[in-house]
Structure 1
Amino acid sequence: MGARDLPPDAWNDTLRPFDRETTLPALLARTARRVPGRPALLDGTRTLTHAEVDRRAERLANHLRTLGIGRGSHVGLLSTRSAEAVISLLAVLKAGATYIPLDIRWPASRIRSLLVKLGVEALLTSRDQLPAVGAVRWDVPSLRHVVVHDLATEDTWADSFDEEAVGDLWNYVAELPDPLQAAGFNLGTTSGHFYTADEVTAYRDHVVRLAREALPTGGGAVLEIGCGSGLITQALAPHAARYTAVDPAASAVAAVQDRAAGAGVALTGATGFAHEATDALDHPVDLVLLASTVQFFPDMDYLVRVLADVLAKLAPGGSVVLADLVDPELGRHTGLSVPRSFFAALGRAVPGAEVRVLGRDGEEWPAELAGRYDVVITARARIPEDNGLRALRSWTGWHVDRRPAAPVPDGPAPQDVAYVIFTSGSTGEPKGVMVDHRAVVNLVDWINRVHEVSEADRLLFVTSFCFDLSVYDMFGVLAAGGSVRVVPDAALTEPDLLVDLLEQEPVTIWDSAPAAMAHVMPFLECRDPRGREDLRLVMLSGDWIPVTLPDEIRGEFPGARVLALGGATECTVWSNSFPVADVDPSWPSVPYGRPMQNARYYVLDAGMRPCPVGVPGDLYIAGTCVALGYAGAPGLTAARFLPDPFAPAGTPDGTEARMYRTGDRARWLPDGNLEFLGRLDDQVKIRGFRVELGEVQAALTRCPGVRAAVVLAPETGHGRELAAFYVPEPTADGGAGAAPAEVLAALAALLPPYMVPGRLQVVDSFPVGPTGKIARDRLLADAAAGNARTGVR
């Protein structure tokens, strides 16, 4: 074939039948019936079979349905890695909804923004992420439900709330001889401020003023929750017709009753916690007061429970006064912080409640009291016992376990969105890629068929839920009847632990970005090999694959086949592959490979004409793998997902007749494989010259003594400069490998002077981000901090 020949149609002749009318949950349910007792999910402490996974997912799917979640709904996942998290995602799909993974490392502002953008209705989480959920959920009007999938108790706070210990603590405080300490002040504040008697009196008068403004003329019935030593009680009780004071400290309640009796005030005392405060009430109340009490609640669900109870006890026109609430925006606090947005959610949930959030003039308040705020909730009419606030509680596994393990009716259709995974955008705004069930089923069919994945396989699950590789890692392997070994978050940063798993458990499949595997290799190389005969398939994708890495992998795992995969998140994880057999040392990079089944690849010039073989052009992907587009971004979708003018006759309408503009550069090789040449946005100007970072990186990896390399183009005060980092190949005698000066000399023989990096630094390894890809920003930051071993030029 001549160098100027156009690629033949046969290179895109990938049409192959598969079950176009099924969905992911249908595939997995079918497998659960076929191999019910085979292991499906393992996390190091237990093994769940395919039948158990299916039953648990059915229960959660049915629970989601009772919450109004179904086709068209968006459900987020903010969870640490666990078997429950995988089951949760399957349950979302069974319910017919779309799952949206969120990274626990993301800042709250990013999570909040994405939840709002997609109108997420429910959030599945793990118990350790409840504080993170509390920081964002009240700012998302669409977010109606939170499900804590790994809690077995009915209440989120049940197993962390030690009633005996709390009672003992407050009895101790109430009996302190210093009256200010007995009232809860000067017990060791984070600000270091010690309150004077005048400051405490001013605080008391402020609370009493709020309370009296809420009381009807002539007094009324008052319930004070958390009366403590009686600081507020003594000042407020004389203004009430009927007063009930509740506190977990029996000694405090007894002292308050004694003082009230001595003053001739009618007061009923009761020992109990806030969630028990209304149990003894046989009458409606006009005012419920919680002064400096909420900050000692175990969590937000406890607050929801207490407020739901007391709102139902209010007489029409009655009020709840919450004094001295801690605003989380002011920083960390040892107690419960309550976002002000929670009260907006309360107002939406309970239409009969009028909510006023009252700020404070900081100049009038000492220390931390200046940043706190107060809230008054008034009942415009009688609020029923089953009020809307109770719906704001979190659901737990306790509730899920009480749902039937039966198939959910009216599940998803093949054309429904299965998931939305976010990729970074050039404008800094994340792009949510929508992928339908049919595209994922096609991917699963291809990988499992071509690479003979079966119930005998076990995959070591090391990728983030937010990285699209996880889609196959979970559902592809489970669909084949295989098992998924879930690696906990803590172990992901410990290569030694990953090596232990590879050697001690029958892991047959590894799937990650190249950097994640490269991070493990030195730990494999320094051990005596044992238990490495099981690993048969290593799949690498998502970033450049160092040319030396496949042979290094086979050196440690002689039975492993290395598969390079490519594509885009916008084209359902992978859409091409290259089985890496013998590595040609002259390769600038591992070839990109050929299209998978039902995928088509085009290399086009600026006029959208096919480029001849060997000629670089812009890469487009078409076929069943193409995503539906970007969530909430029709303009961007139209710009990147285009009609396919080369679609074969008979191509179904819809996504399969469109092509995705990848933003990558590539060319066809004479053998029908593609060569990846880098991204369009990797093309930068250096001193007036256009430079492809991928070309420089490929040349660097060809230099003797270089194991892996990364090339960046950071901005400086004088424009962009090329900055290169490389991991040296150790010498046979254990030496440090090629020195920077040697590498520069070799590089100068391969590239013109303007393409030779101005900075070349040796690093021991590349930092890896949560997706397993090289964390380029961290690489630059570490280099700036002096963590790179040497630097030249």
Structure 2
Amino acid sequence: MSSATSASQRADGRDTGTSAWVDELLLAGPDEEPVLQLGQVVDGAALRSTVQCFQQHLENAGLVRGGSVVLRLPPSLAYIGHLLAAWRIGAQVTVVDHRLTGRETDTALNRIRPQVSVTPDETVTALLRGYVDVTARYDRLAGVPAQSNHALVQLSSGSTGSPKIIGRTVSGLVEEMDRYRSIEGMPGRGERIVQLSSIAHAFGMVGGLLHSLHTGVLLTLPERVSAASIVEAVACRPESATLLGVPFHFELLTARGESAHLPQLARAVTGGERIRPDIAQRFTELYGIGLGECYGTTETGLVALDVLGRHRPAVGPPAPGVRVRIDEGELLIGTPSNPYLSTGQAGPWSEGWLHTRDAATHDPSTGAVTIVGRLDSQISIGGLKVDLTEVEQTLVALPGVREAVALFDRRITAYLGVAPGTDPDHIHREMRSRLAVFKRPRALYLMPELPRTSSGKLVRSQHTLQTAVARSRRPGETD
């Protein structure tokens, strides 16, 4: 039995957790070992001292074992310290992305009803910052204690509608940490992770933050969300570095148009949503390494991870301990209990399986899983089958088109994010030459950029996209 497993077992039961797993698995490194780099380097002793300080503040605010707290902090030492401190108390932590609007946050809090809120003491503008220095404010709310044994509560991305409320137990988080540690190519002690994806979301939190603390990897956050700052973060220290990001970050890095001499860059992994094949190829050409890919869900965490990019277009076989099956083309993931917290909300979970709505194939000889699109992207027009994923990929390949979303509501409508100066007529002509008549969007909207969720995924809500169209005022209709 591993120390991680024994720690998670001690934290099982009605309580949301104990200090044991935090101390034994996340804060157990040597005093002088560097663990975080947010501008300044934070070693093990300094992190433990910070967590202890924040734990006292949370307890003074009324947080107790079995209580509930919401964190709405930007990426910062304060965010990391409060997350660990609340878990150390044994409280249930709801993480709300700081980039959500006030209305979105209020909607979530009305459903979750935490007892304590931790927010920045003053307004923070950090849209292009990799991390910030922030002072926390503590508010007691008219909430309720934790109503389940989940240690972590998160919101789904909400890319297609209202976000779902999802819970993760201590044992589930620890098992996922063990899965990451067992994957070939994941960085270990003495190496670095340069974290680009949000540490408030599943991939960045567990694959980046918790894995780093668990294994003695130095977690580095770049100063800014820009190609130059990312390159600087990789080059600033001699240890080998692994980039963890979402497609948006690798689009930034390939848009530089010039190769970078980065002998420290050993690996790069993208997650969150599928990356365009041309971006993956261009990244390899510029930086000399394959681009790996991670597939997972907020509900289950890591499902499959190809760190070295050897299995593309597959994302590799399921991680150890993960059960998958294909049912009528849909990927199902074994999930023993309902991960959704809302009363009566089973969502896409039933009888021990999470229905992902992702169309996938599973190679029985290699175990490799390949995500081929969304099931809800496959439609029928006049008896002819159309895959909206294919339509999107064709549109993105057109000159000047950076991103695309295709939706169907009695007709195909496409929303394009285009470069400045892109000629709409040229897009229309190219589209006609590449898509059959029945596959062509009947309505085509061009915008400087498409709306994204706080985790960087393209929004697929028709209402949100139409609102963005109205603001951009650049509509165009196809024939």
Q: TM-score range by the shorter chain?
A: 0.7 to 0.9
Aligned counterpart for 1:771 among listed residues 433, 455, 465: 455
TM-score normalised by the chain length of structure 1: 0.50
Counterpart for residue 349 of structure 2: 641
2:272–2:295 CA contact under 8 A, matched in 1: yes
Which stretches in structure 1 are left out of the alignment for 5+ residues? 1-15, 132-148, 157-299, 302-341, 349-411, 585-589, 606-616, 644-657, 729-734
1:28–1:478 CA contact under 8 A, matched in 2: no
Distance change >3 Å, CA 548–CA 632, structure 1 → 2: same
DSSP-derived class of the 2:373 partner: strand
1:311-710, aligned counterparts within 5 Å?
416-423=149-156, 428-450=161-183, 451-472=185-206, 473-487=208-222, 491-492=224-225, 494-505=226-237, 508-523=241-256, 525-526=257-258, 529-530=260-261, 532-558=262-288, 560-572=289-301, 574-579=302-307, 581=309, 590-605=313-328, 617-622=329-334, 628-633=338-343, 635-637=344-346, 640-643=348-351, 658-669=352-363, 671-684=366-379, 686=381, 691-698=386-393, 709-710=403-404
Q: Deviations over 1:639-679 (max 9, x none)?
A: 53333xxxxxxxxxxxxxx2212222222246532222323
Larger radius of gyration: 1
Q: Percent identity?
A: 19
- One-letter amino acid matched to 1:29: D
Q: Deviations over 1:32-87 (max 9, x none)?
A: 4443211122221x221122112221332244345542343221111222111111
CA distance, structure 1, for counterparts of residue 337 and residue 306 of structure 2: 22
CA distance, structure 2, for counterparts of residue 429 and residue 762 of structure 1: 25
DSSP-derived class of the 2:155 partner: strand
1:722–1:759 CA contact under 8 A, matched in 2: yes
CA distance, structure 1, for counterparts of residue 373 and residue 337 of structure 2: 22
Counterpart for residue 72 of structure 2: 78
1:436–1:628 CA contact under 8 A, matched in 2: no
Q: Deviations over 1:304-352 (max 9, x none)?
A: xxxxxxxxxxxxxxxxxxxxxxxxxxxxxxxxxxxxxx9xx9xx9xxxx
1:30-41, aligned counterparts within 5 Å?
30=24, 32-41=27-36
| Equivalent residue pairs, number | 449
- One-letter amino acid matched to 2:325: Y
1:515–1:768 CA contact under 8 A, matched in 2: no
CA distance, structure 1, for counterparts of residue 64 and residue 320 of structure 2: 31
Distance change >3 Å, CA 504–CA 692, structure 1 → 2: same
Aligned counterpart for 1:723 among listed residues 414, 426, 433: 414
| TM-fit CA distance, 1:597 | 0.8
| TM-fit CA distance, 1:620 | 0.9
| TM-fit CA distance, 1:786 | 5.9
2:34–2:42 CA contact under 8 A, matched in 1: yes
1:18–1:442 CA contact under 8 A, matched in 2: no
Counterpart for residue 120 of structure 2: 126
Distance change >3 Å, CA 68–CA 766, structure 1 → 2: closer
Q: CA RMSD in A?
A: 4.1
Distance change >3 Å, CA 685–CA 783, structure 1 → 2: farther
1:533–1:557 CA contact under 8 A, matched in 2: no
Does residue 753 (structure 1) correspond to residue 437 (structure 2)? The answer is: yes
CA distance, structure 1, for counterparts of residue 186 and residue 124 of structure 2: 41
CA distance, structure 2, for counterparts of residue 790 and residue 536 of structure 1: 44
- One-letter amino acid matched to 2:253: V
CA distance, structure 2, for counterparts of residue 667 and residue 791 of structure 1: 36
Counterpart for residue 29 of structure 1: 23
Name whichever of 774-783 and 55-64 sits farther off.
774-783
Counterpart for residue 320 of structure 1: none
Does residue 95 (structure 1) correspond to residue 89 (structure 2)? The answer is: yes
Counterpart for residue 381 of structure 1: none
Distance change >3 Å, CA 567–CA 469, structure 1 → 2: closer
Distance change >3 Å, CA 727–CA 672, structure 1 → 2: farther
2:270–2:294 CA contact under 8 A, matched in 1: yes
Q: Deviations over 1:752-775 (max 9, x none)?
A: 532233456788876654312235
1:28–1:475 CA contact under 8 A, matched in 2: no
DSSP-derived class of the 1:597 partner: coil
CA distance, structure 2, for counterparts of residue 782 and residue 426 of structure 1: 14
Counterpart for residue 20 of structure 1: 5
CA distance, structure 2, for counterparts of residue 20 and residue 98 of structure 1: 20
Q: Deviations over 1:491-547 (max 9, x none)?
A: 33x444334334445571222221232133212x24x624x2212221211212111
Distance change >3 Å, CA 710–CA 786, structure 1 → 2: same
DSSP-derived class of the 1:725 partner: strand
- One-letter amino acid matched to 1:547: P
Counterpart for residue 12 of structure 2: none
2:251–2:279 CA contact under 8 A, matched in 1: yes
2:330–2:360 CA contact under 8 A, matched in 1: yes
DSSP-derived class of the 2:219 partner: strand
DSSP-derived class of the 1:124 partner: strand
- One-letter amino acid matched to 1:720: R
Does residue 712 (structure 1) correspond to residue 411 (structure 2)? The answer is: no
- One-letter amino acid matched to 1:721: I
- One-letter amino acid matched to 1:58: Q
